[in-house]
Amino acid sequence: MKIGFIGLGIMGTPMVKHLLEADHTLFVNSRSGLPPSLAGYQLTVCASGKQVAEQADAIITMLPDTPDVDAVLFGSKGVSEANLAGKVVVDMSSISPIETKKFANRIEQLGGHYLDAPVSGGEVGARAASLSIMVGGPQIIFEKMLPVLQLMGKNITRVGDNGDGQTAKVANQMVVALTIEAVGEALLFASHAGANPEMVRQALLGGFASSKILEVHGERMVKRTFDPGFRIALHQKDLNLALKSAQEMGLALPATALAQQLFNSCVAQGGEAWDHSAMICALERLSDFSISAQ
């Protein structure tokens, strides 16, 4: 398949590699240019989203936020300026479910098809092609694109119609944030009580408290390795989507709001670009105790 890919960041670059290694033809565009790690691959670098869409049968976007997707799809020299008849746009960014439905409608009016397919699993999952992919859109288009999605992920679920994939991703980010908070509190408690936090983490991995967050992010907390990963600023964006939607629905999400405030504390400490496991730094500041000082 001729595939366009727009957005070659931490996530997009390894995802493109998997597509190339499966012998797809790639047309790519990124505002930061071609990453050095892709320099040795056979692909076509395009100057705009329009140029990508003119040459590709399916156009995948992997971008930071809702305005970025809007600009790439509908801005000057955007994807929508190409002839989209019969082509598929697959947005794998994590953005607003409400705006996603509007984007899908506009693409369909131009003769194209649209899937929202946000991912979970971070850089580790992108590199290992083990991402969880939550898809919203027509069943027939999902089936058409499934072999491509399977090159980048393992747990691939069509949740429902356009927007439902993004709704599932927001829910995922709520669970991740609250689990990071729980793991951080537990390791902080253990460390302050005099126990070795790494050995406590190992013990908990064998019980009902075990989770991927405890395994990966718990280790980062103990070892103080907060290079992203998944940046706090991006997780804040996702929680903002949850809290804004909850306000519109008259829904209470008190723990999600708490997690957002802890991320705000990290940002105040200069941690906007830290990995989201660094939420532990906000908890440590509240208690005036650091795991690393144990």
pLDDT number for residue 124: 87
Give the residue extent of every domain in the chain: 2-161, 167-293
* Domain 167-293 bears CATH identifier 1.10.1040.10: yes
What are the mean pLDDT values of the chain's consecutive 10-residue runs (294 residues total)? 96 97 97 92 97 98 96 98 98 95 98 97 93 98 98 97 97 97 98 96 97 96 92 95 94 98 98 97 97 73
pLDDT number for residue 293: 62
Task: Write out the catalytic residue numbers.
Answer: 169
* Domain 2-161 bears CATH identifier 3.40.50.300: no
Q: What is the pTM of this model?
A: 0.90
Distance in angstroms (rounded) separating the CA atoms of residues 52 and 241: 29
Distance in angstroms (rounded) separating the CA atoms of residues 166 and 149: 16
Name the token pair of 39: 């320099």
pLDDT number for residue 294: 59
Q: Residues near 32 by Cβ (< 8 Å), separated by ≥ 6? A: 8, 9
